[in-house]
Amino acid sequence: MRIFLSGGRGMVGRNSREHPLAKQHDIIAPVRPELDLLNFAEVKKSMKDAKPEVVVHTAGRVGGIIANMNAQGDFLIENFEMGKNLVMAAKELGVKKFINLGSSCIYPKTAPNPLKEESMLSGKFEPTNEGYGLAKMAVLKLCEFLSAQDKSLQYKTLIPPNLFGRYDNFDAVTSHFPAGVIRKIHQAVQAKKTSVELWGDGTARRELMSAHDLAGAIWFALDHLAQLPPVVNVGVNHDITILEYYQAAAEVIGFTGEWQFLLDKPVGMKQKIMDSQFFHQLGFKPTKSLRDGIKDSYDYFLTI
């Protein structure tokens, strides 16, 4: 198929383009200097020129807890505008298939784990990423409403868990915690430090998925689009503690020191694991272990 891919230079976009299943498609992935996703006229013209059969939306403004807390409004408006512009351009140009990438941040702070799609909007968002969560929810609902209004449209949203892997963002301020931990432990090894700071007590639990496996999930979803509900979790169906992630990263990087627990720092939700049984029963299987995913991420970090 001819596919218009947003976010082609991001972690998910680059992994999607490199995935073996991508070879069967003709992928057009305009990058930021070529296309401003916040400009609807530019988005529509670029999409019209590309003439895609499918749009895959992986672009977004993303970041860790501090980045989100410091710019809630920017995260809300930019992520909503990007998604809205792509969805509406696709609809106006007659593109019938759309894969929208959501986020587990859409789930309420108090929703029971494992998180099920029906628990969306049953409570308040996690405060540390409320702006981002609201934006993702609005675009998700736009896809759902348009598909309900026009039965010829298959605009589906995939909800992944926390991501890590090749092409991650390792910036000290804007990185998510998996990349931030790798950078922090690497720097500790280089400086011969005997301890590394860990926010919280390490018991918060997260579901982690390699960007390579999410790329596989996207191409798998495209082959099963008609069978998917409007919104579907695409996780790995198991979680680990934050401390376990630190320990696994330490093994890969070669850190043998101790952890300094900062109990006054924000840690977000106590647990966040999704119920992805439907997607797995359809036939999808992740291929990357936690250690292999960390190694992919760390090997890439060493090249930048």
Q: Which positions are annotated as active-site residues?
A: 132
In this structure, how many other beta carbons lie within 10 angstroms of the beta carbon of residue 267? 19
CA atoms within 13 A of residue 177's CA, in its CB half-sphere: 23
Is 258 within 8 Å of 98 (Cβ atoms)?
Answer: no
Amino acid identity for residue 284 in this structure: F
**Torsional sign, CA 221, 297, 133, 36:** negative
* Cis check: omega of the bond before 161, within 30 degrees of 0: no
Q: In whole angstroms, what is the distance from residue 139 CA to residue 126 CA?
A: 18
Going by C-alpha positions, the residue among 116, 97, 96 that lies closest to residue 106 is: 116
Going by C-alpha positions, the residue among 141, 106, 101 that lies closest to residue 126 is: 106
Phi first, then psi, for residue 171 (nearest 5°) are -60, 140
